[in-house]
Amino acid sequence: MKKKNKAKGFSFREIRPVEWERGRLRDILRRKMRMRRVLVVGDVGVDRYTIGSVERISPEAPVPIVLVEEEQLKLGLAANVADNVQALGGVPLLLGVVGDDRIVHDFKKLLRATRISAQHLVTDGKRRTVLKERIVSDRQQLLRVDYETIGPLSSHTESQVLKTFKNLLKDCDVVVIEDYHKGLLSLDLAASLISAARKAGKCVAIDPNAKTPLAWYEGATLLTPNTREAESLSGIKIRDENTLAEAGFFILDETSAEHVVITRGKEGMALFSAGSRTIELIPTYAREVYDVSGAGDTVISVLALALSGGANISEAAIIGNLAAGVEVGKRGTATVTPDEVEMALDFFAGARAF
């Protein structure tokens, strides 16, 4: 269905499950995404969940005492993207900067457990390996503690990252740049990474950060901001379809990207493509929302794998939206499998309500 925006000349087309080519989507998910090699570059780290119960308040200060029952360690930041790529049947090549500290040992142990290579990591002894610790009780997050070094890389470390990146380009099918604004990216490094990848004929998908200047992403193939990031990058408050369109097209034009996919939480996705004034709207597909952290990592993992396997942006976004719907039903940062996504595909494609 199309809805004309006469004031701005945009049109909106909502893609509903009745329009899906289920056989084609299954083929992309099961065959075309499989074994695609994804070079993931960005800030990396560990997510630690300290889980327990609260039965009393501390006599030392008016704060709850958490009786720890369980601790969980998970791959975080760009490493979670690599983990998602692996779970979906792809092959991640992970490039990031770590410190020479005790956390890096936990990080590399997690990588080994998920069969992701640590050989492309760059070590900088003057930086911390990122650790985000979440204190959780009765499914509620009480506190988050971040251990990290915020600030630009040294010129030596930055040159190591770029050299490693260029060496890996020949071995990958698509590039994902994850910007968590922890210091790995700079204007010069971002421009060098994008330029090298595009010269090598690789699609460059970027998960941007609200704090990063939009100019850093110029030349990307695809950008996947959420609503808050799209507002910050464009300087436009998204209140309705008009402002959504203005923000999306602004980002598209300013970066010369081929596609911009704005992830909108419960409102789904909005797809913008160069040369088109039609914005494709994809409703959200989540049966239960438990925790939204990590959903963006799942989306960009699917988009990168699907596009590198020959899917068009609409097909990639539909699968990405389904995968995100599965991910938000899990606690914390999590991965999804092709089986889970296919079950969601069958469920929503067969639901009369859609």
The residue count of the chain comes to: 354
**Within the chain, where are the H helices?**
22-27, 78-87, 102-113, 155-169, 187-199, 227-234, 241-255, 295-308, 313-327, 338-349
**Residue pair 300/176 in contact by the 8 Å Cβ criterion:** yes
Of 43, 179, 207, 297, which is the active-site residue?
297
**Residue pair 78/178 in contact by the 8 Å Cβ criterion:** yes
Closest CA to 29 of 352, 298, 290, 341: 341
Side-chain half-sphere CA neighbours of 220 within 13 A: 29
DSSP state of 218: T
SS (H, E, C) 75-105: EEEHHHHHHHHHHCCCEEEEECEECCCHHHH
d(CA 224, CA 209): 10
Calculate the dihedral angle through the C-alpha atoms of 318, 314, 215, 43, rounding to the nearest 10 degrees.
30
Q: Facing residues of 70 across strands?
A: 51
**Residue pair 303/341 in contact by the 8 Å Cβ criterion:** no
Helix axes 313-327, 338-349, angle to 10 degrees: 100
The reply to whether 297 belongs to the active site is yes
Active site residues: 297
